[in-house]
Amino acid sequence: MNKSNMVEIIVYSLIIIAGIIMLFVYKPKEIEYEIPKNFEIIREGSSSGDSLSK
């Protein structure tokens, strides 16, 4: 192996190791969603075959 291939392998391995470390260390922020109590889902355009009131 020549020197440029060895440097390339070292750089790629450092990137992979950093990615694995970040995978286990990174914790995203929790976002709280506020849903109103009077929230309703309205179903529109349903055909007669798939209605919920059977």
Specify if 54 maps to a domain: no
Number of folded domains that form the chain? 1
The tens digit of pLDDT for each residue in 22-39 reads: 999 988 788 888 877 777
Burial tier of 26 (Cβ tally within 10 Å: 0-12, 13-18, 19+) = exposed
pTM of the predicted model over 0.75: no
Please report, in angstroms and rounded to a whole number, the separation of the first and last CA atoms in the chain: 72
The tens digit of pLDDT for each residue in 5-23 reads: 999 999 999 999 999 999 9
Q: 14 lies in which domain range?
A: 3-38
Specify if 43 maps to a domain: no
Cα angle 21, 22, 26 (rounded to 5 degrees) comes to 130
Nearest-Å Rg of the Cα atoms of the chain is: 27
- Write b or e for each residue in 1-12: b if 16 or more Cβ atoms lie within 10 A of its Cβ, otherwise e: eeeeeeeeeeee
% of the chain exceeding 70 in pLDDT = 81
Specify if 22 maps to a domain: yes
Specify if 52 maps to a domain: no
